[in-house]
Amino acid sequence: MSKTKGKLIVFSAPSGSGKTTIVRHLLAQKELQLGFSISATSRAKRGNEVDGIDYFFITLETFKDYIKQDQFIEWEEVYQNNFYGTLKSEVEKLWLAGKHVIFDIDVIGGLRIKRKFPEQTLAIFVQPPSLKVMEARLRNRKTDAEEKIIERVAKAERELEFAQDFDYVLVNDELEIAKKEAYNRVKDFIKK
């Protein structure tokens, strides 16, 4: 896989931090020339998710076969038997289209991309104002059972420890301010 193509913009955060909202905002800014890297996952669809739009939903067996075939830039078993990963083919497709690739991905996966492509990656950690606010956001989504929310909050506590390993920590307290800050950081990085 070529390391001389476009830039890679990684957004990672605990669930409920607002990273997906910020990434969608950035994708709407056409002058940034961003293309979204759709992750592959072995988990079941949630709500109105669409295969090939939200994720590439593949079976656990297929995911493991792709790992053996070295088809991922990075992958992680985020929760038991719930794998997520970035397909090499997805990034190459976006680069060929002249886009910079933006990722909405888990913390470990984001750091793996940064390590693999250090010069061409901007890694931004989106941090909630507090775990209490993050938990409230998860509950307001109404997409997860209680045990899943508890699991996500516990995972968030561990993920917050990695914030200092990112290029920039963006505290999402006021969404509009966070969107502007993210835009400016990405714009400046792309210009380099």
pLDDT tens-place string over residues 114-147: 999 999 999 999 998 887 877 787 788 777 788 8
Q: Is residue 93 pLDDT above 90, yes or no?
A: yes
What pLDDT is recorded for position 167? 97
What pLDDT is recorded for position 2? 52
pTM here is 0.85
Domains located in the chain, CATH noted: 8-191 (3.40.50.300)
Do residues 156 and 15 touch, judged by C-beta distance below 8 A?
Answer: yes
- Within 13-130, strands assigned E span 34-36, 40-41, 56-57, 72-79, 82-87, 100-104, 121-127
If pLDDT is split at 50, 70 and 90, which confidence band does 1 have?
Answer: low
pLDDT tens-place string over residues 51-82: 999 999 999 999 999 999 999 999 989 778 89
What pLDDT is recorded for position 4? 52
Backbone φ, ψ for residue 54 (5° rounding): -85, -45
What pLDDT is recorded for position 142? 72
Do residues 16 and 128 touch, judged by C-beta distance below 8 A?
Answer: yes
Whole-number average pLDDT of the chain: 91
Q: Is residue 3 pLDDT above 60, yes or no?
A: no
Q: Is residue 22 pLDDT above 80, yes or no?
A: yes
